[in-house]
Structure 1
Amino acid sequence: MSETSIRAAVYLRISLDRNMDGLAIDRQREDCLRIAQDRGWQVVEEYADQSKSATDKSKVRPAYNKMVADYDAGRFAAIICWDLDRLTRQPRQLEDWIDVAQENGLLLVTANGEADLTTDSGRLFARVKAAVARSEVERKSARQSRSQVQRAEQGRAPKGVRPLGYATSGDVVEHEAVAVHEIFRLFAIGDGPSIASIARGLSGQEGQDVPSSLPHLPKHSRTLVIERNARREAEGLEPRPVPNDGPWVSSTLLGILRNPRYAGYSVYTDRLDRKENKRRTWHAQILRDGDGEPVGGQWTPIVTEDMWWRVQERLNAPERITNKTGSTARKHLGAGLYLCGVCEKPVRTHGQRYRCEGHVMRSRKQVDDWVLSIIRARLGRPDLRDVISAVDEPRVQAITAQIDTHRAKIKRAQHDYDAEIIEGRDLKRVRDQANPAIDALEAERRSLTASADLGGVLDMPDPVAAFDGAPLMIQRRVIDFLATVHLYSHPRGKKTFDPHTVSVVPKHS
């Protein structure tokens, strides 16, 4: 093959282009094209990866992958790059190029000179250079990791993109924090709206299932670009295009609800610790001290620890994990609310029926119609306001403290399980003991907090009409506040509905 007939590819890469102006790529391109011109080579293709790392093997470099495929297809016989570490920083990846060079005679030229991978001295030069580059990366990574660990241990705000509600300094952004708190408050309610409904409310949409208490916020990604542009303009740089605003998506809301920082926990994840990450969960990000206790951050929490953990439990509910839509919002009036008259467990929906396996199977429509008639009658009584008693604050505080104690037991067991100190059955035993106690305490707390979260139904001039026009979740809360419903088996052979088989016991006289 003559020198002038060699078909070459130019590969350009920069790990991080903060300004995304392409100037660094342009400088590499000028040097590489000059090499091709001096050698008389024909450049048949240019491949450029902008802001793409070559260190992390899990990171995808689209242009690099295309170049590999094109070389395998025989499109070129030489590669020109500004430096060897632009091509790769992974010794294993370099060995792939060495193999093809030995088999096919690949020519590799950099601005620092030719790396002849077909000779032993050329391969030695390339391997040493790759090893040195890798060593520099590892030392830099170790310094950065130690710095990040130190920041987390001191409870300082992590560096990087700021989360909704916080500035990069860790200070609270008040109007965003209001939205974050409301997102958590709504989802922490046992029968609260779904993530999708909250996302629609945050987007300014309306609907029967959309909470009206949420402020309308532009998408956080748009806000971040606007803030970066303000900094660029202050530095005399051209602003970048601002993406159009659009609806919030459930995945973004899920990331907010899962973030321990909002409860004031200091967080750190060692991405190189394969043992820890093998079974890493959302709460494994919480940094812990030598006694296994969470490290508190120096920033102001937006939600309480109790609220954050209640949200995690709802997110971890089996029905959410196994259902097809990902929604935890109830879709039927009595599911999980009505109780089995035999075992006292909440009934579930089964087609057009409510069921407690082995005990009760009842028509949903018949039961709901009867329960609604009783609730409407109670709402229509003139003494309705008498059922709203004053809140017993000392008892509510005592209940909250007891709930926190039970949740702390679960958290410690979960941490021990993640650290492989205890088995799954031990974690299950702790949960099975603590969760019923938490449920009972929360039921008592709900009864003491009177008409909270009832959508204002009891305060309306016409509570019955307000109840009928309320979303399903509010109707369920009103029923739960006013009465306890038990279902019993219907007499065999009797076709008409028997009211005695559905017990609706008032909670307030």
Structure 2
Amino acid sequence: MRQGEDTEELAGRRGIPIDGRRFRDNDKSATHGKHRPEYERLMAAVQRGEVDVIIVYMLGRLWRNRRERAEGIEILRKHGVSVLCVKGPELDLTTAAGRLLAGLLGEVDTFEVEQMSEREQREMRQRVERGEIPTGPRCFGYTADGDEVIDAEAAEVRKMYQALAAGGTLSGIAADLNEREILNRNGKAWTHNAVRYLLMNERYAGLREYNGTTYTGKWPAIVNEDVWRQAVAILTDPARKTSPGPARKWLLSGLARCGVCNNGTTVTSAQRSAKGSYEGARIYKCRGPVKHLGRTAEPIDRLIAGVEPGQPLGLVPQLLVREDAARLLLDDERPDMDELNAKATVLRARLKNMADAFADDDEADALEFKRAVRRIKDRLKEIEQQMTSPARAAVLGELVRSDDVVAAWAATPLDRKRAVVDMLMSVTIHQCGPGRRRFDPESIEIVPKLR
């Protein structure tokens, strides 16, 4: 407002009619590459011969970077337009001296802007190096000033990281939050991109990146660095299967293979039309150009994952409830697996022998026995952790270690169930012959991936 009044006052003193023609690009700094539509409109008016003189508060308000200044000087020279500055000299750009002065003054403006930017960058780097809390909008999981954790939100953040590691999809995580009416920091529903941005944010690991370098912050971390880096690795993996559309709705869509073409073509799912033989029923069909496979999905899903009361458990929950289900977590590719397995076997046998000896010795010291057992169990736990595959543990660990595996499996979200199926087995769906028939489990070929 004040600058506008000053330019009007200068125009009045010089007898220059403005006729209400003003060009304002408020908060449109060309220094940061922002588009300046009003400046472009002014230059277009100059080139149409509609402008004789441009009045500005100071030259730095007209041109804000070297490229813009060089192009502007040439346009004004060509069309005989001069520049009047409230804070600065009059510039006749039709003369070499006027163009020289405009260039020199412009370089001074650019120097001041760049020097200020360097100071701001240096100050920002120092803040980051000191581990100071980032400024800006509140981060979900933290208070407004960022130095304290909001426990309920922090718990949701940890669940998101756990869900991703266990095979959950971004859309599935967002859907789960929205179903439970957990709103984001703005009080709105979660989206696929909002979940991704959160999981990629190094702040949750107590870190901060600046110009490609990671620094440790002084605020409390919600997850450890390994958890955050694992999430980043998953989300940036080029092989990761992503889809801009809605999340998968069915257990085997995109996972099961067609047993007819047998060339790696996967199976998708759909509803039969009302005129089909299975009105309203979901079907699995070949994704290839020839739809030579169409099987009702429900009995296949029940065979793989079913936990319905009174019905046999599906193949996946059968594997998870086995007494030796913990073996599914072992990393078979470790070169020292045999050695670790031998040590674990010795420690388990030692625990059994100690228990038998304690039961037979009426004078045994119970406290000493408990201490010895605790030491052996700690060593056994350490060895078992070394034997465990992190990838398998992320997907299967929570289920395998559950006190009620069947209930835990039934409550597992669909995207994580799909990850478990994909890790445990490959599924191929074969044709079952013409006409209606009873479901034949033998028509579904299951090949275990883990032993």
Partner of residue 42, structure 1: 17
1:51 aligns with 2:18: no
Cα shift readout 1:315-361 (whole Å, capped 9, x = no counterpart): 34668776442x5x3333114655799xx99973357656699xxx9
Local SS of the residue matching 1:50? coil
Cα shift readout 1:349-388 (whole Å, capped 9, x = no counterpart): 357656699xxx9846346523414643675469999928
Residue number among 43, 51, 60 corresponding to 1:76 in the alignment? 51
Q: Which moved more, 1:344-353 or 1:63-72?
A: 344-353
Return the index of the structure with the highest Cα Rg.
2
1:120 aligns with 2:120: no
1:308 aligns with 2:222: no
User: TM-score by structure 1 length?
Assistant: 0.58
Over 3 Å counting, the alpha-carbon distance change for 1:249 and 1:372 in structure 2 is closer
Residue number among 33, 50, 61 corresponding to 1:86 in the alignment? 61
1:130 aligns with 2:124: no
1:263 aligns with 2:209: no
Could you tell me how far apart the structure 1 residues matched to 2:62 and 2:416 are?
A: 60
Give, in angstroms, the shift of residue 83 of structure 1.
0.4
Q: Which moved more, 1:307-316 or 1:128-137?
A: 307-316
Conserved? CA contact 1:335–1:349, under 8 Å: yes
Conserved? CA contact 1:391–1:450, under 8 Å: no
Could you tell me how far apart the structure 2 residues matched to 1:310 and 1:72 are?
A: 57
Give, in angstroms, the shift of residue 130 of structure 1.
0.8
Return the letter of the residue paired with 1:449. E
Cα shift readout 1:284-309 (whole Å, capped 9, x = no counterpart): x4x1xxxxxx5433322223334334
Local SS of the residue matching 1:55? helix
Could you tell me how far apart the structure 1 residues matched to 2:304 and 2:92 are?
A: 88
Q: Which moved more, 1:168-177 or 1:297-306?
A: 168-177
Conserved? CA contact 1:54–1:86, under 8 Å: no
Give, in angstroms, the shift of residue 29 of structure 1.
0.8
Partner of residue 458, structure 1: 406
Partner of residue 164, structure 1: 140
Return the letter of the residue paired with 1:90. N
Conserved? CA contact 1:388–1:450, under 8 Å: no
Return the letter of the residue paired with 1:134. T
State how 1:288-327 maps to structure 2 within 5 Å: 294-316=214-236, 323-325=243-245
Conserved? CA contact 1:108–1:116, under 8 Å: yes
Partner of residue 251, structure 2: 333
Could you tell me how far apart the structure 1 residues matched to 2:190 and 2:287 are?
A: 38
Over 3 Å counting, the alpha-carbon distance change for 1:322 and 1:169 in structure 2 is closer
Could you tell me how far apart the structure 2 residues matched to 1:380 and 1:310 are?
A: 40
Partner of residue 387, structure 1: 321
Q: Which moved more, 1:162-171 or 1:60-69?
A: 162-171
Conserved? CA contact 1:199–1:249, under 8 Å: yes
Return the letter of the residue paired with 1:42. P
Partner of residue 372, structure 1: 302
Conserved? CA contact 1:148–1:158, under 8 Å: no
Give, in angstroms, the shift of residue 87 of structure 1.
1.0
- Number of equivalent positions: 372
Give, in angstroms, the shift of residue 147 of structure 1.
2.8
Could you tell me how far apart the structure 2 residues matched to 1:473 and 1:345 are?
A: 25
Give, in angstroms, the shift of residue 488 of structure 1.
6.6
Conserved? CA contact 1:340–1:488, under 8 Å: yes
Return the letter of the residue paired with 1:216. L
Cα shift readout 1:397-441 (whole Å, capped 9, x = no counterpart): x97xx9xxxxxxxxxxxxxxxxxxxxxxxxxxxxxxxxxxx9964
Return the letter of the residue paired with 1:458. V
Flag structure 2 segments of 5+ consecutive residues without an equivalent: 271-283, 335-386
1:98 aligns with 2:40: no
Give, in angstroms, the shift of residue 177 of structure 1.
3.3
1:215 aligns with 2:204: no
Could you tell me how far apart the structure 2 residues matched to 1:370 and 1:494 are?
A: 18
Could you tell me how far apart the structure 2 residues matched to 1:160 and 1:256 are?
A: 15
Conserved? CA contact 1:391–1:448, under 8 Å: no
Percent identity over paired residues: 29
Could you tell me how far apart the structure 1 residues matched to 2:118 and 2:22 are?
A: 34
Cα shift readout 1:94-127 (whole Å, capped 9, x = no counterpart): 2222212222111211112312222222222211
Conserved? CA contact 2:426–2:449, under 8 Å: no
Could you tell me how far apart the structure 2 residues matched to 1:124 and 1:29 are?
A: 27
Could you tell me how far apart the structure 2 residues matched to 1:382 and 1:92 are?
A: 74
Conserved? CA contact 1:367–1:502, under 8 Å: no
1:181 aligns with 2:158: yes
Could you tell me how far apart the structure 2 residues matched to 1:118 and 1:439 are?
A: 78
Cα shift readout 1:34-72 (whole Å, capped 9, x = no counterpart): 01111222213112222232323x222232233223333
Give, in angstroms, the shift of residue 199 of structure 1.
4.6
Could you tell me how far apart the structure 1 residues matched to 2:108 and 2:183 are?
A: 52
RMSD: 4.8
Conserved? CA contact 2:170–2:195, under 8 Å: no
Conserved? CA contact 1:340–1:487, under 8 Å: yes
Conserved? CA contact 1:264–1:300, under 8 Å: yes
Local SS of the residue matching 1:180? helix
Residue number among 384, 387, 392 corresponding to 1:443 in the alignment? 392
